[in-house]
Structure 1
Amino acid sequence: MTDLLEPQRPRDAASRAAALADVPLVSPAPTGGIRGILQHRYLLKLLVKREVTARYTGSFLGMLWSYITPLTQFLMYIFIFTLLMGRGGNIEHFAIHVFASIMVVGLFTETVAAGTRSIVRNSALLQKSAMPREMFPFASLLVSIYHLWPEFVILGIALFFTGWAPDLTALVAGVLGYGIIMVFALALAVALSVSQVFLRDTGNIVAVVNNFIRFGVPMMYPYSIVAERFRGHTDLYLANPIADAVLLVQRCFWVPTTSDQKATIAESMPDHLFTRGFVALAGAFVLLVIAQRIFNRFENKMPERL
């Protein structure tokens, strides 16, 4: 009687297999995109912490190098451009012009370079853990932002001694400039991380292109030179969203340090800078959507290539 009341259990392998055959299969793949990244915030935090820690492992000074390196760069720019070349007499506080521009360009190049190799570099972790693969290029962006803060400290000290007096327009310009760079860099990092899986030369191509970016934006030279040399034909130059972002950052940090801000804006800033900036930001978001769709299309083919 007791045996009749107990549920019947599979007694051999065949019956167990028959029972499992009726269980619906559920894909273990995690949710992708921004939603998937937000669902795995703890893993994202661990990835960023691991990348930051790995950079300074075995170093005696550790995080102090994050301050020493930008400080020596800034002092070098002061010596070369102000004392050696005498350019400081023509362009007021040109060292700040260069350093603020290098910060935003460095954020872009570091994010794209690290994001391109992020999936291949973490292939072992990716195969062991179920997580959105977009998390790796996104973590590269956060690591680049983390390493940017010591540079802001050095820049802030320099701005204090040069009498930086920004208005609301300048602050909006800075936020817009960095917004363009972060969205644009993330879009390229997501798309190129897919390319690196199938074409391992992608990382080397990105490294070469990054060398040209530094000279394709008004960083080591003022925009006034571009406007003078290409009179009325600067639209193609300004179609580069990185150039727009650099000019917006200069509008935020460099222009308020000059004695005659109106004259500096008229001579060294293009017309309709904010309009160009918002168009560039919109284009960066469109590119991010396209990059996400490319990523989704090839995501299932990545494991066999890794």
Structure 2
Amino acid sequence: MTTIDLSEYDIPGRGRGILDVFRWRYLLRLLVRKGTATRYRNSVLGWTWSYVKPGIQYLVYFLVMGIILGMGGRTENFPLYLFAGIVIVNFFNEGFGNATNAIVDNRSLVQKIYLPRELFPIAAVIVGFIHFLPQVVILLVVCLFFGWVPSFAGIGAALLGILIVASMALGLGLFFAGINVRYRDAQNFVEVIRMVSTWASPVLYTWTLVAEHVRGWALHLYMVNPLTVAVELFHYAFWESTVSDAGHVGFPARFDLYLVASLVICAVTLVVGQFVFRRFERTFAQDL
């Protein structure tokens, strides 16, 4: 009886998860190109919306928080403080939202051919990052207007903040993308998380205001939120060097521990998100 060696063949419809990204780089590039090309198709303003929407959001928040509620008088260079926080949170919201809908939006490909399904959420987060870059360019221009001086520490803090947000967006995106195929209610949970994200991190206010009213475990829970850590890293990178000693806020006490905890949370979120995604992946074609 002849024995056939099947060791070099893959199990149909199953891959190595996120690790397949390195093997299927060409397909990832195609998905990213498709996502950026079709985002503003048949739109008059096109990529200008990448500037218009965050600009309107910023003006509304500045009017309410900066002028009406007086944060502009209590926080030095509040326009820059606010903009730095909005930019990084917008990256999370867009990447997370895109990744959640990635499988449903690409149902025709998922149903017809096999390719690692993780490519869709990952490409969605990358597309969110691409649309995040124009906002960073505007942030840099505003920073220079306020007398910002770049530093290696500040640039490193910004890159670390981006890594934290991208990891969190991908982990949660994988988790909800898998569930969303079978249970479309997941999309509503995602919208709630995106709505709360701006208020659950020190974007519209400083962390010192939270510390004045919250104590103990609740304060620690707030501080280990990866979005809180990422926003504070962006404030350190782009805002801290523009204020005087009187307006200096600085990192919270034990921020190094909060940073490590947020990185652990991001890693756990990625692992759990990948596990849940692969469990639901088996029935994607039927559920779609």
TM-score interval for Structure 1 and Structure 2 normalised by the shorter chain: 0.7 to 0.9
The CA RMSD measured in Å over matched residues stands at: 2.5
Aligned partners of 1:81 and 1:94 also within 8 Å: no
Q: Does 1:48 align with 2:42?
A: no
Q: How does 1:130-145 map to 2 (within 5 A)?
A: 130-145=114-129
User: What amino acid is the match of 1:300?
Assistant: R
- The number of residues matched between the two structures is 282
1:288/1:90 CA distance change after superposition, 3 Å: same
With over 3 angstroms needed to count, the CA separation of the structure-2 counterparts of 1:223 and 1:186, relative to structure 1, is: same
8 Å Cα contact 2:98/2:124 also seen in 1: yes
User: 13, 16, 30: which one pairs with 1:32?
Assistant: 16
**Is the contact between residue 67 and residue 151 of structure 1 (CA under 8 Å) also seen in structure 2?**
yes
8 A Cα contact 2:75 2:247, kept in partner: no
Query: Following the alignment from structure 1 to structure 2, what is the Cα–Cα distance between the partners of residues 75 and 211?
Result: 17
Counterpart position of 1:285? 267
* Correspondence for 1:275: 257
SS in 1 for 2:170: helix
Q: In the TM superposition, what are the counterparts of 1:1-306 in structure 2 within 5 Å?
A: 27-29=11-13, 31-74=15-58, 86-231=70-215, 234-260=219-245, 263-265=248-250, 269-306=251-288
Whole-Å separation in 2 of the counterparts to 1:151 and 1:300: 38
Q: TM-score, normalised by structure 1?
A: 0.83
In the alignment, the residues of structure 2 paired with residue 106 and residue 37 of structure 1 have an alpha-carbon distance, to the nearest angstrom, of 25
- Going from structure 1 to structure 2, the CA distance change for 1:23 and 1:159 (only over 3 Å counts) comes to closer
Structure 2 counterpart of 1:230, which letter? V
Q: What amino acid does structure 2 have at the position aligned with 1:288?
A: L
Q: Is the 8 A contact 2:121 2:170 kept in 1?
A: yes
Return the index of the structure with the highest Cα Rg: 1
Q: Quote the sequence identity (%).
A: 35
Per the alignment, residue 6 of structure 1 pairs with none
Larger deviation: 75-84 or 279-288? 75-84
Deviation at 1:169, TM superposition (A): 3.0
Deviates more, 1:166-175 or 1:276-285: 166-175
CA distance in 2, matches of 1:224, 1:23: 64
Following superposition, the deviation at residue 296 of structure 1 comes to 2.4
Aligned residues of 1:179 and 1:281 also touching (Cα < 8 A): no
Q: Deviations over 1:37-68 (max 9, x none)?
A: 22222221221222222221112232233234
Structure 2 SS opposite 1:56: coil
Unaligned runs of 5+ residues in structure 2 are: none
Alpha-carbon offset, residue 156 of structure 1: 0.7
CA separation of 1:304 and 1:59: change in aligned 2, threshold 3 A: closer
Aligned-pair distance for 1:300?
1.7
Q: 1:26 to 1:55 in 2, by over 3 A?
A: closer
Letter in 2 for 1:303: A
**Distance in 1 of aligned mates of 2:54 and 2:165:** 20
Q: Structure 1: which 5+ runs fail to align? A: 1-21
CA 1:71–1:214 in 2, change beyond 3 Å: closer, same or farther?
closer
Deviations 1:247-269 (CA, angstroms, capped at 9, x unpaired) = 1221111111112288421xxx3
Contact 2:76 2:247 in 1 (8 A): no
Which whole-Å CA distance do the structure 2 matches of 1:64 and 1:23 have between them?
56
TM-score of the aligned structures, taking structure 2 as reference length: 0.88
CA deviation map 1:164-210 (0-9, x unaligned):
12433333322222211111110111111111112111011211222
CA contact (8 A) 1:176 1:277 kept: no
Q: 1:299–1:261: structure 2 CA closer, same or farther, 3 Å change rule? A: farther
Which letter does structure 1 place at the counterpart of 2:126? L
* 1:248–1:273 CA contact under 8 A, matched in 2: no
Q: Secondary structure at the match of 1:221?
A: coil
Secondary structure in 2 aligned to 1:148?
A: helix
